[in-house]
């Protein structure tokens, strides 16, 4: 079973992007502040937790292009505890492996640019070519196909003719 956490806070470092054998990975530190009323002292107490966030592949590339130090962010992901050794001492760190990262729009505005994910229908239609092979009587309608041989819906020409541009 995997648990998901949602953190709201600020990016406190610039995003670093590096390439690994598993793809691109972006990383940054964020600060999330929680407050509570201490019943003993009747004082409001705030505690800030600093966590490292990592985002892989396409999400990592988008985070590197979008998030800057000091900006308010919302991160949804999985907690991951990692152990390592430094200066002969065993250490532990808790990180967030991000599934979603976005700006906190309760504290400002942002603009969105959709990334392209391969050829779109309009692109395929522009690449259409006529099948040059003739068959039968020469007056047969032939489908116009793209470079991969797929028929482009709604485009037909008489065999041997070029499609209208």
pLDDT per residue of the chain (165 residues) written in tens, 0 to 9? 578 999 999 999 999 999 999 899 999 999 999 998 899 999 999 999 999 999 999 999 999 999 999 999 999 999 999 898 999 999 998 899 999 999 999 999 988 888 766 666 655 555 544 444 444 555 555 554 555 555 545 454 444 555 555
Q: Does some domain include residue 20?
A: yes
Q: Does some domain include residue 109?
A: no
- Tokens 């505005």 appear where? 109
Beta strands in 57-140 (DSSP E): 72-86, 89-103, 129-130
Q: Does some domain include residue 98?
A: yes
User: Can you tell me the distance from the alpha carbon of 71 to that of 68, in angstroms, rounded to the nearest whole number?
Assistant: 6
Radius of gyration of the chain (CA): 27
Are 81 and 36 spatial neighbours (Cβ–Cβ below 8 Å)?
no
Residue 21 gets which letter from DSSP?
T
- For residue 113, count other CB atoms closer than 10 A to its CB: 7
Same domain, 81 and 130: no
Q: Burial, 146: exposed, middle or buried (Cβ in 10 Å; 0-12, 13-18, 19+)?
A: middle
Same domain, 88 and 125: no
| Residue 66 phi, psi (nearest 5) | -110, -40
Q: Does some domain include residue 111?
A: no
In the chain, the number of structural domains is 2
Same domain, 24 and 95: yes
Q: Does some domain include residue 113?
A: no
Which H or E run contains 122?
A: helix 121-126
Same domain, 96 and 132: no
pTM here? 0.65
Query: What is the domain range of residue 133?
Result: 121-158
Same domain, 13 and 86: yes
Same domain, 94 and 139: no
Same domain, 36 and 95: yes
Q: Does some domain include residue 22?
A: yes
Same domain, 94 and 13: yes
Q: Does some domain include residue 56?
A: yes
Q: Burial, 76: exposed, middle or buried (Cβ in 10 Å; 0-12, 13-18, 19+)?
A: middle
């Amino acid at each position: 079973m995997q648990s998901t956490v949602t953190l709201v806070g600020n990016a406190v470092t610039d995003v670093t992007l590096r390439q690994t054998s598993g793809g691109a990975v972006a990383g940054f530190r964020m600060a999330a502040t929680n407050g509570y009323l201490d019943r003993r002292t009747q004082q409001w107490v705030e505690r800030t937790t600093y966590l490292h966030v990592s985002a892989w592949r396409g999400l990592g590339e988008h985070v590197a292009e979008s998030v800057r130090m000091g900006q308010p962010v919302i991160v949804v992901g999985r907690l991951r505890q990692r152990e390592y050794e430094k200066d002969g001492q065993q250490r532990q760190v808790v990180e967030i492996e991000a599934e979603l990262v976005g700006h906190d729009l309760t504290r400002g505005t942002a603009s969105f640019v959709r990334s392209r994910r391969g050829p779109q229908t309009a692109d395929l239609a522009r690449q259409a070519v006529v099948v040059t092979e003739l068959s039968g009587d020469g007056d047969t309608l032939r489908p116009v196909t793209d470079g991969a041989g797929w028929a482009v819906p709604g485009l037909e020409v008489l065999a041997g003719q070029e499609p209208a541009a």
